[in-house]
Structure 1
């Protein structure tokens, strides 16, 4: 293992600890809030893990943790393609929060700190980790199609959750306000953004790939 690979493992480990700790604290805070409303702890856990932000930070924790412990030998979890996909997902978390969700809910103290870690710090750290430490030159132009599975499944789940729970997780997908047409139109725009980002990431990967011997 080269010095750069060792440093990459350390950075991945730090990111896994930060993201994992923030997810755990978010779960505890969410359960506390839900229990104060007279609902069960299980309701709180389901609610917290229904948010794309928490699910994606959990993915970051798993993938970064595997990369820290196993390096480039970690199988599927530490493949360059897997880490590129997770970099896209967590980047979208940061972008959507900054563009559409900032300031919608008043927060302070630990709640605000955890929110900033999940929406701001982890996205920046993991995208930089991908740029600096993940080997380049192994992505294919068809990879972004496969990477769409996670956001597609989430869109379907969030609509189902909203229909069953009577509350929607994000204002841009709130069927009670926008109708199914508006919610689906917004979802399609976001999904198109995922696909476009995937193609950009493949282009960056190829541009940063080591030069092949003549």
Structure 2
């Protein structure tokens, strides 16, 4: 015989909900082995030392206060500092510097090289300095070549060959214009504080108010600002379309703490 089925079945206790997964306290370094990028560290350290050495030569051979006022010197000092810290992070397998900082250093040193070769050292340019100033010689010529040609090319090579792509963003392009704008205000204010006839009162020919007037100088500044913004947008676009130069090396060198096994049977 079977027991009679009761008419009233007592309520069963509610099944407790499955607790949500808590975030794992294990750091990423315990799963992925940090990889030192010795080549990138060495190349960036070389760039930093080269830029710093050229700036030091200029400071020794000329007036430090005047030399430090040039956009060329300031952009190379920034590049030297950025490359020095970037080299340290690459050597110690730490995360790279923020792209807003590295992109700014690349943009400013690229402006230095392009303005020099297209406007200042170009005999066909209306702002050419080839016929007005005595060509640099000796160590001054070496430093001039390094600051306007070697470091911009080296910074571009580091970006193209040793930096992962898609790090720059379009919203950063407008922020990068703040420094050139501040430099314009500084250069014009500096010229107003110096007495007429002072050597290098106007640091660049396209900023010479005495020769061109404020209207033309501000027009030149506007054209340069638009060109700088276009260059910044171009760098961002190229950064999102260029291949990844370190993907192949990272794929073969990175190791994880988990290994998948093939299914049995």
Shorter-chain TM-score: which interval?
Answer: 0.7 to 0.9
1:206 aligns with 2:235: no
Match of 1:8 in 2: 40
2: CA distance, partners of 1:22 / 1:180? 33
Contact 1:67–1:74 (CA<8 Å) still a contact in 2?
no
What secondary structure, in the 3-state scheme, does the structure 1 residue paired with 2:240 have? Answer: helix
- Give the one of 159, 173, 185 matched to 1:144: 173
Distance in 2 (CA, whole Å) between partners of 1:188 and 1:148 is 11
- How many residues end up aligned between the 2 structures? 195
TM-score (norm. length: structure 2): 0.69
Are the aligned partners of 1:80 and 1:135 in contact in 2 as well (CA < 8 Å)? Answer: no
Distance 1:169 1:46 in 2: 12
Match of 1:93 among 79, 104, 112: 112
1:168 paired residue among 193, 202, 206: 202
- 1:129 and 1:207 map into 2 onto residues whose CA distance is 16
Larger mean Cα displacement after TM superposition, 18-27 or 5-14: 5-14
Give the aligned CA root-mean-square deviation in angstroms: 1.8
**Residue 144 of structure 1: CA displacement?**
0.2
Which residue in the other structure is 1:33 paired with? none
SS at match of 1:207: coil
Structure 1 residues 135-167: Cα deviation after superposition (integer angstroms, max 9, x where no partner): 211222111011111111111111111111242
Which residue of the partner structure matches residue 158 of structure 1? 187
Range with bigger deviation, 78-87 or 54-63 = 78-87
User: Structure 1 CA distance, aligned partners of 2:175 and 2:152?
Assistant: 21
Q: Which of 203, 212, 220 is equivalent to 1:186?
A: 220
Unaligned 5+ runs, structure 1: 31-43
In structure 2, what is the Cα distance between the partners aligned to 1:73 and 1:209? 22
Q: Among residues 75, 89, 95, which one is paired with 1:56 in the alignment?
A: 75
Structure 1 segments (4+ residues) deviating >4 Å = none
Q: Which residue is equivalent to 1:25?
A: 57
2:72 maps to 1:67 = no
Which residue of 2 is the match for residue 41 of structure 1?
Answer: none
Retained in 2: the 8 A contact 1:137–1:209?
A: no
TM-score normalised over the length of structure 1 = 0.85
Partners of 1:80 and 1:131 lie apart in 2 by 14
Q: What's the CA shift for 1:176?
A: 0.5
5+ long unaligned stretches in structure 2: 1-33, 122-129, 248-265
Secondary structure of 1:27 counterpart = helix
Q: Return the alpha-carbon distance in structure 1 between the equivalents of residues 164 and 35 of structure 2.
A: 12
